[in-house]
A and B are shown apart, each in its own frame.
Chain A
Amino acid sequence: MLQKKICMVGAFATGKTSLVARYVQGIYSDKYQTTVGVKIDKKVVTVAGQELNLILWDIHGEDEFQKIRMSYLRGSAAYILVVDGTRRDTLGTVFQLQAKVEDTIGKVPFITIFNKYDLSQDWEVGEEDLEELSQRQWTYCMGSARTGLGVEECFTKLAQMML
């Protein structure tokens, strides 16, 4: 079976672990338990009639004390940039990370997910931010690990981009 490594990257507490838990196990918790290091999960999916074994690298959040080691990204077929839509600065983190990732592993497909879409009253990401993404020709989607909205679609879209 075809193995595809996919990395989850983004600032801390944006919902990387929650998105993987929602996608792989269909579960969600409101309790925040930070990831220190890397957690590996896998899921078999069928895309366009082809079976893929997705190997998901849930990497700790980027912050002052824990910089993401770019060597973790080696061998990735694709990656997911996770933004917390209620914290606009996490979009800035993603811009920086994307440049570093591309420096390390070159151009591979990636998708940006604006997570926590259920918290629309606290939403900080604006139209002009989405316009900037469009200008960069980035694929993005809205999602919520909490309600499950858009999560499956996001992974599926990325899987299609990899084929």
Chain B
Amino acid sequence: MLNLPQPIVTFLCSTVVRDRFPAYLQVTKNGDLLSYGGACDRYGLNPLQLHQSIDDQIFFLAGLLPLQEAAMHIPFLQLEDDIIAEVHLFAEEQHDWVVFFDATSENEEHVLIQQKVNDLSLLRRKQARSLGHIIQSETVAENILDIRPAGEQKSLSILVIKCCNIEGLDDKTATSNPLKILDAYLSAISPSILDEGGLVHQNIGNSIVAVFGVLPSTRSSSMQAIDASVRILQLFEERQPPIGPSAQCALVVTTGMVTIGLLQVGFGKTLTVMGQPMDVAVNLNEHSIGGTLIIDKLTFDGLDQRQKSFRPASLAGSFMTESLCLYSYHPLQ
């Protein structure tokens, strides 16, 4: 066996194999049970009757035997109550074999991860759907966003996106529906934010505020915010509908400590972000012009080679700029 010395084989058999409660069935090509053994009880495989149809005894095998492929693997199969079996089926010339292992604890681990993934996907959808009313319940906020409802200090990156020169938005003709147009823009932009791990925090007029660093990520919040920004700039360059021919976006990213928490607003809870980075971002955004991405020093410091695409900049008109060290985005050719 794989050239393993006997003590190893014995060890493996007595631990890895035995502890997983193997059981087996041998089934003829006509579908009759020829023999069985191992921990059949554990999987609820009883009482078993030899030389009788397997389909009538073990329901899940109905239609699977005789095997059409050489082998089949079901990593997690739940038959009885709380036991999850890993099932291997394989064919030999005269008969098919079905082997069971206990996979209950592996299944538990998978479920934990998959549950988080699915919950996050659903949350992401909800957000994309209703900008602003992100957090539906306190439990979601605590379990998934890791926010203490009482509020806490956290270092986050804030991205403010202002959409300018949108056709039809200032149009006062009866045919155009400014809300619908704005909604189309916001819906086109929000996936870039969500895909980079950000949250759409709120929208004010034709600006969107997004926050990065609330959800866990392997990248710094600055990198997430910059990656989202670059995607949004590209979106406006490509001019796929609904982005119109003259529309532009002005982006600002700031980073720093803010207080985040959940505020009871009306009947629901709303994510609240307070602090200087938020004020600065909103102020800078007011003064920035279409097609630009401006970031502050802390955001710049949180970048890796992405720094190469930024140059020191100043912003005319903003009283805040004198004291601030700013950078603007110039994509590398």
Q: Are B64 and A32 in contact (CB under 8 A)?
A: no
In Å, the complex CA distance between A31 and B77 comes to 21
A39 to B62, CA, bound (A): 14
Residues of the A chain whose Cβ atoms lie less than 8 Å from the Cβ of B111: 33-34, 36
Distance A34 CA – B76 CA, assembled complex (angstroms): 13
Stretch at the interface among A55-63, A129-137, A148-156: A55-63
Q: What is the interface of chain A mostly: helix, strand, loop, or mixed?
A: loop
Contact status B79-A40, CB under 8 Å: yes
Do B62 and A36 touch (CB < 8 A)?
no
Chain B residue nearest in CB terms to A87: B125
- Inter-subunit contact B59/A53 (CB<8 Å): yes
A131 to B54, CA, bound (A): 43
Query: Using Cβ atoms and an 8 Å threshold, which residues of chain A touch B59?
Result: 3, 40, 42, 53, 55
A37 touches B119 (CB 8 A): no
Q: How far is the CA of A37 from the CA of B59 in the complex (A)?
A: 17
Say yes or no: B84 contacts A37, CB within 8 Å. yes
* Residues A58-76 near B (CB distance < 8 A): 60-61, 63, 65-66, 69, 71-72, 74-76
Q: Is the Cβ of B62 less than 8 Å from the Cβ of A12?
A: no
B115 touches A33 (CB 8 A): yes
- Tell me whether A74 and B68 are in contact in the complex, defined as CB-CB below 8 angstroms, given that A34-B118, A66-B114, A87-B125 are known contacts: yes
Does A21 reach chain B (CB closer than 8 Å)? no
Is A27 part of the binding interface, using a Cβ–Cβ cutoff of 8 Å? no
**Any B CB within 8 A of the CB of A5:** yes
Proximity bits, A1-39, B CB within 8 Å = 1, else 0: 101010000001100000000000000000011101111
B60, B74, B77: residue with the most chain A Cβ atoms closer than 10 Å: B60
* CA gap between A40 and B78 in the complex, in Å: 6
Residues B77-96 near A (CB distance < 8 A): 77-79, 84
* Residues of B22-40 contacting chain A, CB below 8 A: none
Residue pair B62, A32 in contact (C-beta under 8 Å): no
Nearest-neighbor residue (CB-CB) of A105 within chain B: B63
Could you mark each residue 96-127 of chain A with 1 if its beta carbon is under 8 Å from any beta carbon of chain B, else 0?
00000000000000000000000000000000
Is the CB–CB distance between B64 and A74 below 8 Å? yes
Residue of B nearest to A38 (CB): B77
Are B74 and A37 in contact, with the CB atoms below 8 A?
Answer: yes
> How distant is B33 from chain A, measured CB to nearest CB, in Å?
15
Check if B245 is an interface residue, CB within 8 A of chain A: no
Q: How many whole Å from B180's CB to the nearest CB in chain A?
A: 17
CB of B283 within 8 Å of the partner chain? no
Query: What is the minimal beta-carbon distance from B324 to any residue of chain A, in angstroms?
Result: 41
Interface: B292 (CB within 8 A):
no
Q: Is B110 engaged at the interface, CB distance under 8 Å to the other chain? A: yes
Residue of B nearest to A55 (CB): B59
B37-66 interface code vs A (CB 8 A; 1 in, 0 out): 000000000000000000110011011100
B114 touches which one: A39, A53, A65 (CB < 8 A)?
A65
Does B122 belong to the interface (CB within 8 Å)?
yes
A38 touches B117 (CB 8 A): no
Closest A residue to B89 using CB positions? A71
- Shortest beta-carbon distance from B218 to chain A in Å: 17
In the complex, the answer to whether A72 meets B121 with C-beta atoms within 8 Å is: no
The CA-CA distance from A74 to B69 in the complex, in Å, is 10
Q: What are 25 sample pairs from A and B whose C-beta atoms fall under 8 A apart?
A: A1-B56, A3-B56, A5-B62, A5-B63, A12-B121, A32-B119, A34-B114, A36-B107, A36-B111, A37-B84, A37-B107, A38-B60, A38-B76, A38-B77, A39-B77, A40-B59, A40-B60, A55-B60, A55-B62, A57-B60, A61-B118, A63-B118, A65-B117, A74-B68, A75-B62
Given contacts A55-B59, A75-B63, A77-B63, 11 further A-B contacts (CB under 8 A): A13-B122, A32-B115, A36-B110, A36-B114, A37-B110, A40-B78, A42-B59, A55-B60, A57-B60, A63-B118, A63-B121
Q: 5 tightest A-B contacts by CB? A: A75-B63, A37-B76, A39-B78, A3-B62, A36-B110
B interface residues, Cβ below 8 angstroms from A: 55-56, 59-60, 62-64, 68-69, 72, 74-79, 84, 107, 110-111, 114-115, 117-119, 121-122, 125
